[in-house]
Amino acid sequence: MPVQQVTVLGATGSIGQSTLDVVARHPERYQVFALTSHSRVDALGELCLRFRPSHAVVATGEDAGRLQSRLRAAGCPTEVWHGPAALVEVAEHARVDVVMAAIVGAAGLLPALAAAGAGKRVLLANKEALVMSGALFMDAVVSGGATLLPIDSEHNAIFQCLPAGSRCGALPTGVERILLTASGGPFRTWTPEALRAATPEQAVRHPKWSMGRKISVDSATLMNKGLELIEACWLFGVSPAAVQVVVHPESIVHSLVQYVDGSTLAQLGNPDMRTPIALGLAWPERIPAGVAPLDLFATASLHFEAPDEIRFPCLRLAREAMAAGGCAPAVLNAANEVAVAAFLDGKLRFTDIPAVIEQTLTELPMMAADGLPTILEADREAREQATRLLGLMR
């Protein structure tokens, strides 16, 4: 097989770094075509010197100029571009085979859609893109002839538990239910009073996974599981009723699929994103990922419990948004992004995150998700509304 050209969107993030770790283990299979970063320009510069991609993308022209001079001075051939259109360009470029969509939040939607529309192998970590644009995204995968591989560990596990030859978009016959595991986050056992006083530092200290700040807060509120519930519905063609969330604090069982004959298949492994990333890169083959094999004697026991939707209302809000349909998931996602940013900034209580989201969903008129412009408009309006609500809550 010829060497695969890889674009890593969000290369400086947690998933981006894990991706480059796996890619670097297999130089005979993968070459980096483009790397992107929003603001960590120096870190991106280091990655360019190491991987020597054709292109790098940053947010502003000023940053691009600075990075370009630095790379030229070091004899690095990388051409530096900037802005959202450049993200799309490196995602759909004719020379690219594989796109890792690992930008966090709605900012990753357009390049992820472009990669799908251009028929790439799309490694989807950016769940927010799918939550916002579900039907549209899955249509782009089909019409573009893309190969969609879920990188979220749970969805990757589910994908691995489906019959060989399964593709994203339609659930094979014989599947009864998907069991989506959740760590429960750092506040799983906290009282409502303690939750009210939870700080950003406490929220981003996840017990099992090392991740970016936004998804770490999402894990603490259980919105991450809510977004993943919506993600599972689109990826596997099921209704929310066919997905059961199971809290599993050890984060060893990454999800399960139940079949009509009474079989339940699970995928297990140490909590390390390099496993799903390696599967996404090489599927249907398997390649080493640098992950230690699971030691069941050291693990010793596994626990499972039902989620508490009273202390963690975000899971309910996500299920309701998916049931409402249209642009409701995009509104949920946008309000969550605004609320989480405010919480990380010390401007909103942890327990007010779901309040901002629920209020935003209640106050915005329901819109059908009848195309990208409508979805982007819903995202914009939800951000405005959520920001207004933040002002009232202080």
* 259: contact with ligand NAD by CB under 6 A: no
Sorted by sequence, the CB contacts under 8 Å of residue 384 that are 6+ apart come out as none
Touching ligand NAD, residues 77-116 (CB under 6 A): 102-104, 107
* 15: contact with ligand NAD by CB under 6 A: yes
Touching ligand NAD, residues 262-301 (CB under 6 A): 273
Q: What is the closest distance, in whole angstroms, from the C-beta atom of residue 259 to ligand NAD in the complex?
A: 26
From the list Mg ion, ligand NAD, none, pick the one residue 37 interacts with, judged by a Cβ distance below 5 to 8 Å according to partner type.
ligand NAD
CB 288, CB 23: distance < 8 Å: no
* 12: contact with ligand NAD by CB under 6 A: yes
* 92: contact with Mg ion by CB under 5 A: no
* 152: contact with Mg ion by CB under 5 A: yes
CB 146, CB 122: distance < 8 Å: yes
Token reading at 179 = 């069991």
Residue closest to 44 by CA, chosen among 12, 68, 73, 13: 12
* 379: contact with Mg ion by CB under 5 A: no
Largest pairwise CA distance in the chain: 64
What is the helix, strand, coil percentage profile of the chain, to 5?
50, 15, 35
Touching ligand NAD, residues 130-169 (CB under 6 A): 152
Q: What is the closest distance, in whole angstroms, from the C-beta atom of residue 184 to ligand NAD in the complex?
A: 16
The H or E element spanning position 233 is helix 223-236
Sign of CA dihedral 231, 236, 237, 238: negative
* 251: contact with ligand NAD by CB under 6 A: no
Q: What is the closest distance, in whole angstroms, from the C-beta atom of residue 2 to ligand NAD in the complex?
A: 28
Of residues 63 and 154, the one with the C-beta less far from Mg ion: 154
* 185: contact with ligand NAD by CB under 6 A: no
* 209: contact with ligand NAD by CB under 6 A: yes
CB 50, CB 23: distance < 8 Å: no
The rounded distance, in Å, linking the Cα atoms of 24 and 32 is: 9
Q: Which stretch binds Mg ion (CB under 5 A): 49-57, 109-117, 154-162, 304-312?
A: 154-162
State how beta strands 175-182 and 253-259 pair: antiparallel
In the chain, count of helices (H) and strands (E)?
A: 17, 11
Residues of this chain that bind Mg ion (CB under 5 A): 152-154
Name the site residues for ligand NAD (rule: CB under 6 A): 10-16, 37-38, 40, 102-104, 107, 125-128, 152, 209, 211-212, 214-215, 273
